[in-house]
Amino acid sequence: MRSNNRKPDSLRPISIERGLQYQADGSVLIRMGNTHVICGVSVEEKVPPFLKDTGQGWITAEYGMLPCATNSRYRRETKGQSGRTMEIQRLIGRSLRMMVDLSTIGERTLRVDCDVLNADGGTRTASITGGALAVKDALQKLVAEGKLESLPNIMPVAAISAGILGGEAILDLDYTEDSTAETDANFVMAGDGRWIEIQATAEGQPFADESYLAMAGCAKKGIEELFQLWQEET
């Protein structure tokens, strides 16, 4: 029996709250079951040195977990980020840069801070889904303030986890499921149905093509549901 009596291909209860950080250029609190992440965007009127004088902007991300987000205190990374943290924030940044032609936003950086308030599995995928919505809001604010002449074409981006548990493909794993799954994976998709990134790992034994395709099918269904958030006023 899954939490919330979910079917294998069902998402956890999800909600979005916009504008929680009123001083951010865009902010979204995303709740997926007991995983809660706040994603805030800061617009900086500069770019990294390798993009200076190119006319191109940049989107980057930082990720962190608050000390009481887990069942035992998560130690603050005051002496440098762990390899896991760096890997996750690079994934978030790569994914969000797929949203827009960076030459259309001018020489400015959108810095997306993803802070995990409560962690129950799927924090990186929730960060991507919430971060993408926050980036959209920040771009709309740039237009409203006259800093961009028009809104660039924005490609929706969302992400979800899937896995194999008890020989069955399941969607949107919580921590208990993730910690016991035979295989777990993270899928990032663009709004036109193309994949941006796929990470899949066998925990106990290698997985077959059939298992991979079953996970991908679950993920595609779940992400298509997440894209509905782009149509909702919340």
Question: Is residue 184 domain-resident?
Answer: yes
CATH number of the domain enclosing 113: 3.30.230.70
pLDDT of residue 22: 95
pTM: 0.95
Number of domains in the chain: 1
Q: Residue 132 belongs to what domain range?
A: 9-231
Question: Is residue 1 domain-resident?
Answer: no
CA distance 221 to 5: 18
Question: Is residue 102 domain-resident?
Answer: yes
CA angle 81, 62, 159 (to 5 degrees): 115
Question: Is residue 2 domain-resident?
Answer: no
Question: Is residue 198 domain-resident?
Answer: yes
- Model confidence over 42-55: pLDDT tens digits? 999 999 999 999 99
- Model confidence over 125-152: pLDDT tens digits? 999 999 999 999 999 999 999 999 999 9
Integer CA distances (angstroms), 85 to 49, 58, 139, 181, in order: 24, 20, 26, 22
Integer CA distances (angstroms), 2 to 32, 119, 171, 175, in order: 14, 17, 11, 12
Sign of CA dihedral 29, 234, 190, 166: positive
Integer CA distances (angstroms), 150 to 47, 99, 106, 170, 221, in order: 20, 16, 12, 41, 32
- Model confidence over 179-206: pLDDT tens digits? 999 999 999 999 999 999 999 999 989 9
Looking at the predicted structure, is the pLDDT value of residue 233 above 60? no
